[in-house]
Structure 1
Amino acid sequence: MNADQKLLSKRILSIDILRGLVMIIMALDHTRDFFHIAAMTGDPLNPETTTGILFFTRWITHFCAPTFVFLSGLSAYLSAKNKTPAKASLFLLKRGIWLVIVEILIITFGLTFNPTYNFVILQVIWAIGCSMILLALFSRISYKLVLIIGTLIVVGHNIFDVFPAPKNETVGLLLKIFFTASGTVVPIGSNHLVGVFYTILPWTGIMFLGYAAGKWFARDFNQTTRYRNLINFGALAMVCFIALRLLSLYGDPVPRKEYHDVFKNLLSFMNVSKYPPSLEYTCLTIGVALLILSISENVQNKLSKVLSVYGSVPFFYYVIHFYLLHTFLIFLFFLEGNTTKQIVQVPFFFRPANFGYDLWIVYLIWLFVVAVLYYPCKWFKKYKATHEEWWLKYI
């Protein structure tokens, strides 16, 4: 391996380290959804009713989806370097369509265990799939166009918070799906619902910016310049977050509240909107992601190796962890004395609203699930590295 290849390897490792970190944290939120006693009945981010540890448990997972989407765009740029523009665009298009299908058929079932698919759940994989389809179109035109459009979407989409909702139902629904959805449920027939929890274009903007940042990780890009860019843009994003949050005039659909309590004010300050990802939310999360990328490039220790295992097979980990969590939920469901009459619940089968445990048990289950997934991820990482089947490119 020559010097350039070693340098590229380090850059990719830093991406896997960050991606592995957010994948592990992400599992905490899904574990909370399945197993916390108040997951179906309370808002962990409401400063008026939450506790510090519960707020943190939900808030820290805010960093996962945007970082995952951003790195998906970054990886798309690096992957395109080894293909012609036409082949790169076609691959993104096919993978985007594939991810939308996966969200509907595989992820939804892993979440709900409902074989009738009465409630289809569209989340981050759907958003990534739709964004890849759009990236396939715009990246074929020019890199600069992707950068410009990504910036305009991320900075400008909160303008829709200022205007009232359209009176036309169809226009209003399309606006929600593409820009403003925070949990839009669309009826499909009399017995089926589709929950659009990740609106498309704000996440597309984040992916486009990730694609633009991929240029910094190209083999011929100067390492010092890349480090400076990551530091400068990460710091700038954090400054923008603080300034926008203090002014509370633009950048989040729900302005922060003032309380006569320092702790509640702190929680309110940090409680930015994820659905859809507001400008303030994006500045905070992507700012931190860029700073972590800047410091993790040359990190090589046992922790970084463990994180890179999860981060090198994110799709595999993401799918499997839902099925493992839900299978464990079924075990505890019957262990608690529930019967088959209580299986059917909305949206998650085997998950009654009054079911669940204290937060410390949630943390134990989370650590157990992450630990169980380590060796399957390590095996699949090795399998991908030693096999060249076409379908591996889609997983």
Structure 2
Amino acid sequence: MTASLSTKQRVQSIDILRGIIMLIMAVDHTREYFNIGAISTDPSNLATTTPLIFFTRLATHFCAPTFVFLSGLSAYLAGTRRTKGELSGFLLKRGLWLILVEVVLVTFALSLNPLYNAIVLQVIWAIAISMILLALMIKLPLRAIGLIGLAIIASHQLLSTITLVPNSTGDILMKMFFTARGTVFILDKSHFIFDLYAIIPWTGVMFLGYAFGSLYQAKHQQADRKRMLLYVAIFLFAVFVALRFINAYGDPAPWSVQKNGVFTLMSFLSISKYPPSLLFVCLTLSGALLILALTEKSAGKLAGFFKVYGSVPFFYYVLHFYLIRVITIVVFFLQGFKPSQIVTPNNPFLFTPPGFGFSIGWIYLIWLAIILSLYYPCRWFSNYKKTHTQWWLSYL
């Protein structure tokens, strides 16, 4: 979910890109809850995955970095009608609000566990803390913020070589800010925090997005902006291919020749999201920038369809999780599971017993039903936001 900051004059290509990503995102969330064994298996593990599952997961890799990048870009656009101090204050308050949303609303949607035995920190958490850090840095020159973002993206992998005393304060902070990959922080014997998103690597992506926001100033011609976005997209993809091919730097998981060409390609494309490696960011942002460039003048029903979802990202994000979980409850009972199986031992996520779910083909049908059922609610709220000016709308 991209934490968009409302602008009086919305940028069409941004809403289209955001809408595309929102819909792709729902594929992965649907897979996680409805694909048999998804909770306990890694779709990127070449020893156990299939090409369809792998490429389904690969497509959704583009979502989180695009959300974070567009959050930074939107922050810049919001700043064009605010002073630096006002923008800093807004980002700070919005970041704190998003932390509350992640811990209370999203965690409950993920687990349906009213006792909150597991608190899940993922993309909204990363966006929230990154917004707070951007708020603290907002008075720096734009170029400095962009360069800091680039430096973080290019170099944070070096920190993975640092070894600290397990569970020490330094180790916990290192994991939380730099290296978290499904890291579990124990609160007590029955409560823990599940941290998927290391903060600082994602902050680098947001800082870079903030710097790119300057391309949308009125002084930049549309053709020049499109050309710049295309050049940067091509450059990032070239960096990805070159560094990945030589297996020297940019991702902690090297690729290797596999049993056939398809699996070798899968190995080549199996890059690290937790935390986002340099190559992960290069590949995903090259795709995002390409779409931004190609949709500058897009019109028609398809573009309008994507814009509906992209104009209300927060609303869609929260709503789609709750819809997914309502459907899991219905399917749980339709598949013959009993109330005694709602809770699975050693699993804080309710209504997900062993054997629950469907094959990957059914996942796509359920996904289509979910996104299409949310179209009219999203269109209604999009129109509501356009015709109302209440202060709280800027937080949604």
Query: Normalised by the size of structure 1, how large is the TM-score?
Result: 0.95
Partner of 2:93: 94
Partner of 1:347: 348
* Cα distance between partner residues in 2 of 1:310 and 1:107: 19
Partner of 1:5: none
- 1:56 is aligned with what amino acid? F
* Cα distance between partner residues in 2 of 1:73 and 1:329: 34
- Tell me how many residue pairs correspond in the alignment: 388
Q: Which is worse superposed, 333-342 or 251-260? A: 251-260
Change (3 A) 1:387 1:165: same
* Cα distance between partner residues in 2 of 1:238 and 1:68: 19
CA contact (8 A) 2:164 2:170 kept: no
CA contact (8 A) 1:11 1:297 kept: no
CA contact (8 A) 1:272 1:278 kept: yes
Q: Which is worse superposed, 259-268 or 227-236? A: 259-268
Partner of 1:241: 240
- 1:370 is aligned with what amino acid? I
Partner of 1:359: 360
Runs of 5+ unmatched residues, structure 1:
1-7
* Cα distance between partner residues in 1 of 2:8 and 2:221: 14
Change (3 A) 1:249 1:166: farther
Partner of 1:112: 111
Residue 55 of structure 1 deviates from its aligned partner by 0.8
CA contact (8 A) 1:139 1:145 kept: no
Q: Describe the superposition over 1:100-155 as per-residue Cα deviations: whole angstroms up to 9, x where unpaired.
A: 11000000001111001000000000000000000111112331221121011011
* Cα distance between partner residues in 1 of 2:18 and 2:154: 24
Partner of 1:85: 84
Q: Which is worse superposed, 42-51 or 316-325? A: 42-51
Residue 48 of structure 1 deviates from its aligned partner by 2.6
CA contact (8 A) 1:10 1:297 kept: no
CA contact (8 A) 1:112 1:347 kept: yes
Change (3 A) 1:80 1:10: closer
Taking every aligned residue pair, what percent have the same amino acid on both sides? 49
CA contact (8 A) 1:16 1:307 kept: yes
Residue 50 of structure 1 deviates from its aligned partner by 1.7
CA contact (8 A) 2:222 2:296 kept: no
Structure 1 position 390 matched with structure 2 position 394: no
* Cα distance between partner residues in 1 of 2:173 and 2:187: 15
* Cα distance between partner residues in 2 of 1:295 and 1:93: 33
* Cα distance between partner residues in 2 of 1:338 and 1:388: 47
Residue 234 of structure 1 deviates from its aligned partner by 0.6
Partner of 2:270: 271
* Cα distance between partner residues in 2 of 1:250 and 1:97: 35
- 1:244 is aligned with what amino acid? L
Query: Normalised by the size of structure 2, how large is the TM-score?
Result: 0.95
Larger helix fraction of residues: 1
Partner of 1:284: 283
SS of 1:140 mapped into structure 2: coil
Q: Which is worse superposed, 385-394 or 161-170? A: 161-170
